[in-house]
Structure formats: structure tokens, C-alpha cells
Structure 1
Amino acid sequence: MLQAVTREWGGHSDLWLFAYASLIWRPEQAFAEERFATVYGYHRALKMWSRVNRGTPECPGLVFGLLPGGSCRGVAYRIPQALVAQALPQLWEREMPNGVYDPKWLHCQTDRGEVRALAFTLSRRSPNHTGVLSEDTYRQIFSNACGRYG
């Protein structure tokens, strides 16, 4: 998938990245530019099982995913073309260790115009998509209670 994303980027310009959750508060890279951005057609939702960062295989936690429908405010980061060859594999290692995201190129509206940015989206068909959860299930997850969710 990394090769496909790299091909779609093309290598002829800087690369933009759309951040909607942890990449905003813990970007781990210095970017050449950042802009507040809105993506239409996707929304941020606490609908992704995490067995790495927020849980374990036996007791998964939840993280945000970018799902189809609605809109989402976030940050668009610009990676200079000359740094993409180094930065993209590092970003990939962080965001795609299990290949659960569906990377897509999305149009982001910023106060200085539209940019096409790489975003890590979550398919509703993904095994990491939670589906509909009850309030009790959310309570169990947030209290770190393991066991059956239903």
C-alpha cells in the first residue's frame, strides 16, 4: 500500500497529510507548514478497536478513525518534497503497523485554498471498525474492564 500511495503522490511536489486525531497532538515530525483544514465527506469517530496503543489483543481499547460521511476539522501538514522519502516510511510505520487504515487522498479546505492530502481512513468493513456500541460497552471500555462486549 505504501508503494501505491507513493505512486499516487507522484513525487513532483510537496506532500500534504491530513491529521484528525493523534497526529495533531503528537505529530512526531517537524512539518514545513500546518494549516487548519476541513474535509467534507468524512467524519472523526471513536469507532476503531486498538490492540496496540490503547489496549491489548485480549482487551482492546478505542481510538478515533476517519469514517465516510459528514465533515471533519483537522490540520493539514506539508512535508517538503525533498523530505518525503524519509518522512513517509516513518509515518507509515507509525500509522500502518497492522495495515488497519485505508489510506486515501482527500481534498482539504484551508483558509489558503484547497490541498490534496493523504489521510488514514477507516472502512466500515474493517475488522477494526467497532460497529454500533452500546453505552454500557463504552463504559466498560473506558473503565478498562475486559470481558465480553455486547
Structure 2
Amino acid sequence: MDEFWVFGYGSLMWNPGFEFLERVDALVHGYRRSLCVRSFVHRGTRDSPGLVLGLDRGGACRGMAFRISPDKWDEVIDYLRARELVTNVYLERRVRLQFAGGRRVEAVTYVADRDHEQYAGTLDAFEAARVVHEATGQSGPNDAYVFNTLAHLRQMGIRDQWLEQVVSEVERLRAA
């Protein structure tokens, strides 16, 4: 491997937690950003799980790619594994990314494990909003996580219509 890239689709985009040489808008085909992972601790409980982002099969996802210096490869992969594989709800995968202009690179990313107990499956925006509206965990209300995620995506110029629908529905539930 000549280059080491990491693909982020959620908080990793604005809070990577590691040194990088370059950050580039990137698109991955075959996966989509989704609130498909149940949170039993940070954004919910076992009795009332919240939802957090996962990269799930189907569609495409715009995110950020980070190029890592060769002398940092081991350090960054160790950091990512400690951050992303705490409950093993994510699987480490290599994916092909496309940059503006057509350049393609291979990157490491973390996708939702559909066989894990925390995998919530494909939810429509209304069901996801109901779960998000009701859940709170050690790190606070689930809706704060979702609103913060959407705000960061917008700041980065990334449009996620499904997540926008979820937020609109949560706002409707708050007002009811």
C-alpha cells in the first residue's frame, strides 16, 4: 500500500482525533450514512436504546478522506480500532473512494455489522425520529447527537436528505 487513507462519514469528519496530511471530500459507493446502530450507553440505555450513525449497505455516502503519513499508519489504525471497535458493532473494511475530478483511492472505514445485536436495521425517518426523540444516555439526549451531526454536515457542505427528514420529524415530535 503506497498511501493510507481513512474514510469518515460521521463525527470522524470533524473530530478525527489523529494527525493527517490531507483531508479531501470523498464519495463511497455501495454504502450509506444511517442511524442504524443502537446505542445502549452514550445516547440511550438497554431499556430505551438510542441511535447513532453507521455506514450501512446500499446507496452512496459523501464524507471525508484523510491521508495519513506513513510514519503514523500504525498509531492511527490502533487509535481507530480503540475508538470504533469498542463493542464490535462496526467492522473494519477497505473501500474504494472517489474524489472530485475522478481520482480513486482505497481507504479504511468502519461499517455496521448487520449480525450484531446493536444493529437496528433500516428504519424510515419517522421511526428513527421516534427512537431519537425518546432516548437519552450517559452522553446526553439522542436528539442532541443527531442535531449536532446534521449541523456539522451542513457546515461541511454535505447534504443528507434522510437525516434532514429525521431532524424535521424530531422537531415535530418536540412541538407536539
TM-score (norm 2): 0.68
- How do 1:1-150 residues align onto structure 2 when only pairs under 5 Å count? 12-111=1-100, 113-133=103-123, 135=126, 138-144=129-135
Q: Percent identity?
A: 34
Q: Which amino acid aligns with 1:119?
A: T
CA contact (8 A) 2:35 2:128 kept: no
Q: Which amino acid aligns with 2:114?
A: R
| CA drift at 1:59 | 2.9
| CA drift at 1:29 | 1.7
| CA drift at 1:130 | 0.8
Counterpart-to-counterpart distance in 1, 2:65 and 2:122: 29
Larger % of helix: which?
2
Task: Indicate the residue corresponding to 2:169 in structure 1.
Answer: none
For structure 2, the residue ranges without an aligned partner over 5 or more in a row are: 138-176
Counterpart-to-counterpart distance in 2, 1:44 and 1:132: 11
| CA drift at 1:136 | 5.5
| CA drift at 1:75 | 0.5
Counterpart-to-counterpart distance in 2, 1:51 and 1:145: 9
| CA drift at 1:56 | 2.9
- Between the two proteins, the alignment pairs up a number of residues equal to 135
Q: Which amino acid aligns with 1:55?
A: G
| CA drift at 1:129 | 1.4
| CA drift at 1:26 | 1.6
Q: Which amino acid aligns with 1:14?
A: E
Counterpart-to-counterpart distance in 2, 1:69 and 1:55: 26
Q: Which amino acid aligns with 2:112?
A: L
> How has the CA–CA distance of structure 1 residues 15 and 128 changed in structure 2, closer, same or farther, with 3 Å as cutoff?
same
> How has the CA–CA distance of structure 1 residues 56 and 36 changed in structure 2, closer, same or farther, with 3 Å as cutoff?
same
Query: Which consecutive aligned stretches of 4+ in structure 1 deviate over 6 angstroms post-superposition?
Result: none
Counterpart-to-counterpart distance in 1, 2:128 and 2:57: 23
